[in-house]
Structure 1
Amino acid sequence: MNRLTQKLLLSFFFLLVGLSFGIQISQFVENWLFTEAGHYGNESLIELFNYFSLAITGFVMAVVLGGGVIYLARKKQQEIGFGEHGELYYEVFRESLNGQFLVCENGTLYAVSQGFCRQLAEPEEALTAIGLKGLIDERSFERFVLWQSEGEDFEQLSFELNNSEGKQKELVVSLNHTHLTGVYLGQLVDVDKQSELQKQHELLAITLSSVGDGVICTDTNNRITFMNPVAEAVLALLTDEVKGQAFEEVVPLFQEDSKEPIDDPMRQSMTELQTVCLNELICFRNHLGLDFAIEVCCSPIFLRGDKIAGAVLVFQDVTESRLLRKKMNHLAHHDALTGLPNRLLLQDRLVQSCKRAKRHKHQFALIFLDLNKFKAINDSLGHDNGDELLKQVAKRLTASIRACDTVSRIGGDEFVLLIDSMEDRRHVRLVVDKVFQASGGHYELRATQVNVSFSAGVALYPDDGENADSLMKSADTAMYRAKKVGHSNYQFYCPELDKEAELYLEKETAMIQALHQKAFLPHFQPILNAQTLVIEKLEVLARWQCGDELIVAEQFVDVAESAGINGHLSMYVFELAIPQFVTWSERYPNLQLCLNLSIKHLLNGMFSEQLMTLLEKYQLKPQQFELEIAEQPLLERADELTATLDSLRQLGFHLAIDDFGVGHTNPSLLRELHFDSIKIDPSFVNEIGGAEHQDDLAMVMINIAKSLGVNCIAEGVECELQAKALAENGCDQLQGHFFSKPVPSSEVDLLLEKSFKQSSDL
């Protein structure tokens, strides 16, 4: 029944009641008036009076009674709280989809919402009829009564339902006092939704506590309201200690390089209503005085709509990563051993120097420095001592130049000096001389003293190059020229050096092509017994047939080495020489073939196998061969070559040290290496027959060979006097142009036949 029908029925009811009362009053007045007046017998007058009095009295009574009832009803509504618009409020309350109800202190339900009815699956009439007292059990109602007297203004209670046959067994209700005494507002609580919200809040709290970034929240006044554990750890403060304090006081931000303070990003984000990220290098200092490098991002916190509730700052502690980045950047631009600028940083500074010199119209010098004999020092004393030497050299070089200049190590034992604002070559010479004097000389390495000297190449801007690459190339070319000229020397770049380098490169290219065209061939030089002058050995020497010109090995062996074809060239010559040797060895069984080996041969793990394969192919024995290794490279790589030399000796090869005497060989090292022969360098043999005592060194070499019990060979014998002197002093074998120059294989038969014929005649 709607409210309009109720009003019509109520109005009709009041009208009937008013008419009933009107008839009774009208009858009473009629009797009193007409009896007293004596007009009771006038029927028409009486009937007219009755109708008139009945209408007037009924209308008045209906108005009085209806108005009184309506007044009382409205007064009751106002007492309950609906006010003068009670009907409208009541309808809105009833139609609400929220589970709400108004309950009196005795448990009567005055009004219930549609949401309340729907959730309990009961009609409004049934719920208002039984009230809250009939809806819940006795214990639950006792809790309701107890809450009225002792509970808080707002409280959440759980009520058990009476005789519940559905799925719902209890009601969770939030109760709140109203401004009317004895009337309470109740609202059903969605337990599942509340549980889900609680889980979300717990998950959010756990997430904020678990993230690796620091989180700080502030209110609209920029005062701290929350910090997660990461932020607490970095600040070394708990949230309770800083809660309510201004953000800029607790977390003062400053720029890492300039140390200048940074404007508060929290206020900025709230003012601009957008996220603010600080991309510069940001730091802050906590109350313990510890600095932290951080990356910062701030965002405003919105509630509903555009209402600002504060701001949140998320920061990441990047102190370690920033230090690591700085370290990696330093390592990328500096030498790890000496700490000097490396090639990359030198290149950058050289580019800047070119720009500066062009702008100010001045010149500067680029000096390439190379330590002489560093490899020998490094190999003989060990890499640790070699590294220590490089460190000491770096310190002396740095101390010998101005602070505005640059010392760089670009690899190995190579250093580069960038000397800015030079006046002329004379000034450069003074600088180089100063560097040589200050950085050269004696160095103490773990109780071992070594002497250091340099070779240097100098290039000047803009004469020798107007950019970094050309200057580097010019200085490098000049430095290699200085090394060829002699130790402790420096050379200025000149265009002729480029021409020399170009010719060298052309020679390398020509040699590579000649190897492919098989333009190399073996020549043989005999080695004779010093006493009988019988040929006992043949040394294989490579020759390059370049057109009509026959080029000797001394003119191309260094080029072949730098071109990286020396190993292939030697093996190719061996493959041509060994088949020829097969024929000669059949006629002269004691004849030996001498093969010159480079260090690269010995360091190549496949060389021994390749050589043995070649010998097996022609059914030759290792005892028929003597392998010659130059003394100087042998000294430099002795530790690396020991195992290879032992392996060759065990296979049966004879071993000889070539160019003996130029490398200052330690006799104890010779004993360890177990060589079979030493070949005295021609420079010592040439001194025989000259001024007084000049032949002493050659004789010393012979005595060293005797003391070691090895065969002594003198090469470079050019005259009979030299041959006789060597033979008389105990030299075992002789080799040189006095007996025969290197000849092609076609002439070897004649030499052998002549030699053995002479020995048989004797």
Structure 2
Amino acid sequence: MSMRDLDECVLIIESDSAAATLIRASLVVARDGPFSVDRVANLREGMEWLSKRGAKAILLNLFLSDSQGIETFNKLYAISNGIPILIMSAPEQEEQAKLAILGGAQDYLLTGFIDAHSLSRAIRNVMARQLVEEELYLEKERAQVTLNSIGDAVISTDISGTVTYLNVVAERMTGWTQAEAVGQPFTTVFRIVDGITRETLRNPMDRAIKENKPVGLTIDSVLIRRDGYEAAIEDSAAPIRDRGGRVTGAVIVFHDVSEARSMLLKMAHLAQHDFLTDLPNRLLLNDRLMQTIAMARRTRKQLAVLFMDLDRFKTINDSLGHLVGDKLLQSVAHRLTACVRGSDTVSRQGGDEFIVLLADVENANAAGHSATKILTALAENHCIAEHDLNVTLSIGISIFPDDGEDAETLLKNADAAMYHAKENGRNNYQFFKQEMNERAVERQSLEGSLRQALARQEFVLHYQPKVNLKTGAITGAEALIRWKHPVRGLLYPKQFVPIAEETGLIVSIGQWVLREACRQAKAWQDDGHRPIPVAVNISAVEFRREQLLAEIKDILRDTGLEPRYLEIELTESVLVHDIASTMTALLALKVLGVQLAIDDFGTGYSSLSYLRQFPIDTLKIDQSFVHDIAAERTDVAIVSAVIGLGNSLKLRVIAEGVETGKQLAFLQTEHCEEGQGFYFSHPVDANAFVKLLGKDNTDYTVN
């Protein structure tokens, strides 16, 4: 038998030889044929035939010499291996033929109405139907294998919200097997609540069907598994449409974000709290202070800011060591917290500076009473590592609204009053007085000089190398601005950049920095040095300007520097200000070809969700975390987490502030790619940096 014969083979199972001969003759000459036809006389022979050979279709008479009725079909169907079966039935046996249809037969033909054309057409139809069903089955199998291979959970429903499918991940996350879930209402299988309010959330599948568009899950969605276990989830639901565009159901794709959300909350807490004392840090204090001012303004009440500094703390820290000093700071934090109400805020600003925000005071005397209470509590000895330590405070107090109507002014004036307390013998408190504003006058003088600095060409860039921690090679440079003040000498960014940002001068200064950094990078290349990227930090004010992209294009064109050799560094607080506009700006910069880095990562509103969306190339671990990784378990955990996060997202990770061999060794162990800090080099001018580029890599000890 040829391959075509096998492909077109029709098996007739008919005990009546005359009837079988007529059927064979019809099929051999059929217009839709011809077919290759074989005939057996009874069920036993038919079953033997099928066990040895194949067929494309079977014509079966239910009433044979060795088997009668529906049992004939059932026995044959059980071994037919999916071959389509057509029943040949006399009119009086039609009910048996219908039962066979219900059991899986493709069709039935009444023997009194069979002709060559109708018979061959019926066979062609069942063959075509079988081919389509096989293709749909394979497609379905491929889809199911794919869905079971992905890491996300998938559930689909029909238009009424009844579950039609779960993949294996969805089975594991919901606690329902597919066999149990199919046919159940979606809300029975997929139970979600708000993780904060615990209220049942609206059915996302219902929303997708009614709105006829993809919808995202509500933030803080929590899935309650069948056994009561809870998992934070995120993702989206979408409608399913048929070929005509009609909605026939919905599908939801989701995944467990419990660990990521837990890390996010932990990092958010760390970003807003002091790592040593766990008190609110400067960022959180500013937020609370602004809220408290707004409340006081509405209720016409007063608040007080107490700015305090430990007297002669440096002596204790230097003589007894940092560990004792840190324990003392923790003891001070504990006593300060015990002295105030729950509605007040105690914050550590860094070093030995603390701020207390008294949210509601009747008058200045009440703030003085709190300051006296604090001085008394702190005067008692602190027993630290078998040392009885005595520490005192100098406290400056400013009152809202008399001493300022905004957070910055209140903090500035309390700071000025604190210095006055130190000048008056320490261990006392002083209220702010207007004559303490000499520092404000000094600031005005600095601002005036700053406005002329660009025109007088008083700015200069220094460059600090970024180093590969495996090879020691210089991989890039960060451009850092310095101000050669004609009277004060060399000033660093923290001494004038805040003023520049407040006055708007940061825009013109930032343009100069970008242009000069690009010019210098291209000049190094033109002098024959190996091309390396130069990084420039962009402030929030600069980044939010619509003209930034055009200005960067102009600078790159004018200087001739390829975009890939410019890296823009942005802080987290800049990125999360306006997600939509931030994404647009970042994508435009990415299309231009420049590199993008998150500077000081971990100190702002760290968000894994945004990190995954933004087209970032590099994470820079803030130097505050790197500084104490040899001693602080918290910092070790943070640095390890950030490195692991960056590596998993295929991002470059650069540790800032590397100053010791121990820090370097830890970073190498954690597979941090690059480092930057005094261990390798201080920031140096362009000429000195050229010498660094010319050095052999072994000059940087990285093993």
Give TM-score scaled by structure 1 length: 0.46
- Quick one: higher RCO (CA 8 Å, sep 6+), 1 or 2? 2
